[in-house]
Amino acid sequence: MIVERAYVRDLHRDEDEWPWTVPCVRALTADGLRFTTPVTFHVGENGSGKSTRFEPDTVSHGEGFLAAFRGKFLQRGL
């Protein structure tokens, strides 16, 4: 499937309440998000292996998966 645009459906919302008051959320709801280059999304149920797919890649680059997301280095030997 090729996705060219993502947007928020026009739901009943109060634009003066969070999260609609956050500028980037407001911009996404107004204009959507257009993809001009290929993007890959990994989606699935909890426990389906999404994170497991990326663990070998992050470890091979010297960081653990969770450490990479938290901005910390994986301690060697653990």
- Would you state the pLDDT for residue 45? 94
Residue 69 maps to a domain: yes
Please give the Cα distance from 67 to 11 (Å, whole number): 37
pLDDT in tens, the chain (78 residues): 788 888 877 667 788 888 888 898 888 888 888 888 888 888 899 989 888 887 777 766 666 656 655 555 444 444
**Helical ranges in 9-49 per DSSP H:** 23-31
Residue 70 maps to a domain: yes
Q: What is the value of pTM for the model shown?
A: 0.43
Please give the Cα distance from 49 to 57 (Å, whole number): 14
DSSP readout, 57-68? HHHHTT--HHHH
Residue 53 maps to a domain: yes
Amino acid identity of residue 61, one-letter, is H
- Would you state the pLDDT for residue 66? 60
How many structural domains compose the chain? 2
